[in-house]
Amino acid sequence: MAGFDYDLFVIGAGSGGVRASRIAASHGAKVAVAEEFRVGGTCVIRGCVPKKLLVYASHFAHSLHDAPTYGWTIEGQSFDWAKLRDFVASDVDRLERAYTSTLDSNKVEHFHERATVAGPNTVRLASGREISAKVILIAVGAWPVLPDFAGVEHCITSNEVFNLPELPKRVVIQGAGYIALEFAGVFNALGSQVTVVNRSDKILRGYDHDLTDRLLPILQARGIEFGFNRPIRAVEKQADGSLLVHGGEGEPIVADVVLVATGRRPKTDGLGLENVGIALGRNGEVPVDAYNQSACPSIYAVGDVTDRVQLTPVAIREGHAFADTVFGAMPRTTAYDHIPSAVFTQPPIAAVGLTEAEARANYREIKVFKSDFRPMQNMFSDVAERGYYKLVVDGATDRVLGVHMLSPDAPEILQAAAIAVKAGLTKAQFDATVALHPSMAEELVLMR
Ligand code: NDP
């Protein structure tokens, strides 16, 4: 480490940065990390974790709806947003403490201030202090993109949605991707009137169309309104505090909260990367090679700031691979094929591998197996929602190329199916597996 304050200085204590810090320290490196907001990053502080807790909370609405059919009489039901919000916030506090103690127990020094890059081996803290490091890791994540329309300052993003003072009666959500539809489900279940407006006529672009085509009418039947080809043109604040949302051809929509969820962009503004000859990519990302190394050899980047796959487990793998490569003498890259993903809509969808369209574009002969079923848990319910699973198979080798699921608990089931797809198992091997009955998951081995 001759001449440097640290072996590694990490900018950003999110999923990728914390994992990289911990592993580098375990390899014997002297490590420091700077974080301008809270230890844990988007996933822990204002993303996956608090979102999932809200999803769990909203499931009670469905269970309470079905409860009388199962013989339960529940009187005096009520819902308290402030109680839920504060519980979620307290769990986020707990996780932040856990992340901080991980850094402490690995002797990673942390600075609670913004850091920028001042040179190939120098970072500058907001306080003005300069620190040298043999290697710098950029792990600053991404930030919500706000489209340019009048009144956008009246809107919120997923950064603010967890702290609302009260449950909004009317919510307009712009976008029809992950964040938009997950929060549409949460607010809808908790009792808000929800309208989703999107610039296109698609939802969840990137997922298999058979799934999204089935999901949309389910969400509509649950009461979520959709306005397609209707980008917001303006949001106007009215005297009573409500918001008028202009866009498309119809009447403006009245809302108490407008949530904008139109993608996330690498948070590289003002980071000083131009000081070290790193040309940012089109979306503001730090371009890196397979070993996470940037154009400046002493500077690496992992996670959302590289704009490869914006998912927490991927950032964690990249951070781990970086630390093993640079400080553990174990060069490792991250595999980007067969990454499972899920959208926690209600019901959720989950998928791994190729969609039918992707497979058809890349393979000569494709076989598709489908199961359209009524989940047992809906049998007693007046909710007629159906589940749908789909296997995409290479006709030449019988290998399963993709698994796509729409059903309650799909994400929980999909993780195991992802192992099979990653392992290259064939449809015959799926079929040779005895069904686990009665379950929804058994559909995976019963498709003929
Ligand atoms: P997404 O990319 O999922 O969706 C963006 C939506 O906004 C799309 O419907 C898109 O429309 C629309 N849109 C994009 N740009 C504009 C624009 N300039 N003006 C108007 N509309 C626009 O982004 P999210 O913000 O929902 O999520 C960001 C990322 O966070 C995701 O990609 C995902 O990687 C991650 N995430 C993952 C979760 C999970 O794993 N469950 C949960 C939450 C986030 P269209 O495509 O129809 O043109």
Answer whether 345 contacts ligand 1 (Cβ < 6 A). no
Q: Which two tokens stand for residue 419?
A: 């192992």
Cβ of residue 310 lying under 6 Å from some atom of ligand 1: yes
Measured in whole angstroms, the distance separating CA 172 from the mean position of its chain's CA atoms is 20
Query: Quick one: pLDDT at residue 430?
Result: 98
Can you give the pTM of this predicted structure? 0.97
Q: What is the pLDDT of residue 378?
A: 84
CA–CA dist 93, 115 (Å, integer): 23
**Ligand 1 atom closest to residue 48's alpha carbon, by position in its atom list:** 42
> Do 152-262 and 6-144+265-327 have the same topology in CATH?
yes
The pLDDT, as a whole number, for residue 379 is 81
Report the CATH superfamily, name and number, of domain 341-445: FAD/NAD-linked reductase, C-terminal dimerisation domain (3.30.390.30)
The CATH number of the domain covering residues in 152-262: 3.50.50.60
**Quick one: 437 exposed, middle or buried, by C-beta within 10 A (0-12, 13-18, 19+)?**
exposed
Rounded to the nearest integer, the mean pLDDT of the chain is 97
Contact (CB, 8 A) for 211 and 218: no
The string of pLDDT tens digits covering residues 75-115 is 999 999 999 999 999 999 999 999 999 999 999 999 999 99
CA of 203 to the centre of ligand 1 (A): 10
At residue 41, the pLDDT reads 97
> How confident is the model at residue 250, as a pLDDT?
83
| Residues ≥6 apart with Cβ < 8 Å to 63 | none
CA distance 182 to 411: 14
- The residue to mutate among 178, 308, 349, having the most atoms of ligand 1 within 8 angstroms of its beta carbon, is 178
Q: Distance from the CA of 94 to the center of ligand 1, in angstroms? A: 28
pLDDT higher than 70, residue 67: yes
At 287 the three-state DSSP class reads coil
214 lines ligand 1 (CB under 6 A): no
Written as one string, the DSSP assignment of 221-278 is HTT-EEE-S----EEEE-TTS-EEEE-SSSPPEEESEEEE---EEE--TTS-GGGGTP
pLDDT 10s digits, 178-193: 999 999 999 999 999 9
CA 34 – CA 373 distance, rounded (Å): 50
The arithmetic mean of pLDDT across residues 363-376, rounded, is 96
> What per-residue confidence (pLDDT) applies to 384?
81
pLDDT at position 1 is 58
Q: Kindly state if the Cβ of 313 falls inside 6 Å of ligand 1.
A: no
pLDDT for the residue 263? 97
DSSP state of 40: T
What pLDDT shows up at residue 248?
81
Angle between helices 48-66 and 81-105 (to 10 degrees): 140
The pLDDT score that the predictor gives to residue 364 is 97
Which protein residue's CA is at the shortest distance from atom 24 of ligand 1? 263
Of the residues 112, 154, 320, 437, only one is catalytic, namely: 437
Is residue 233 within 6 Å of ligand 1 at its C-beta? Answer: no
For ligand 1, whether the C-beta of 344 sits within 6 Å is yes
Tens digit of each residue's pLDDT (9 = 90 or more) over 107-153: 999 999 999 999 999 999 999 999 999 999 999 999 999 999 999 99
Of the candidates 388, 379, 401, the residue with the CA atom closest to the CA atom of residue 447? 388
Q: Pocket of ligand 1, candidates 143, 174, 182, 262: which has the most ligand atoms within 8 Å of its Cβ, to mutate?
A: 262
**Lookup result for tokens 């007046």:** 382
* CB 231 near ligand 1, within 6 Å: yes
Assigned CATH for 6-144+265-327? 3.50.50.60
142 Cβ closer than 6 Å to some ligand 1 atom: no
The answer to whether 183 and 192 are in contact (CB under 8 A) is no
User: Does the annotation count 404 as an active-site position?
Assistant: no
Mean pLDDT of 25-35: 98
How far CA 281 is from CA of 42, 284, 292, 356, 408, in Å, comes to 22, 5, 15, 30, 38
Q: Where are the domains positioned within the chain? A: 6-144+265-327, 152-262, 341-445
pLDDT range class, residue 2, cuts 50, 70, 90: low
State how far the Cα of 441 lies from the Cα of 309, in Å rounded to an integer.
Answer: 27
Is residue 138 within 8 Å of 286, Cβ to Cβ? Answer: yes
* C-alpha 385 to ligand 1 mean position (Å): 25
**Rounded (to 5) percent helix, strand, coil in the chain:** 35, 25, 40
Give the model's pLDDT for residue 249: 82
Band the pLDDT of 27: cuts 50, 70, 90: very high
Q: Once rounded to an integer, what is the mean pLDDT over residues 230-247?
A: 96
Nearest CA to ligand 1 atom 36: 178
HSE, CB side, 13 Å, CA atoms: give it for residue 41. Answer: 29
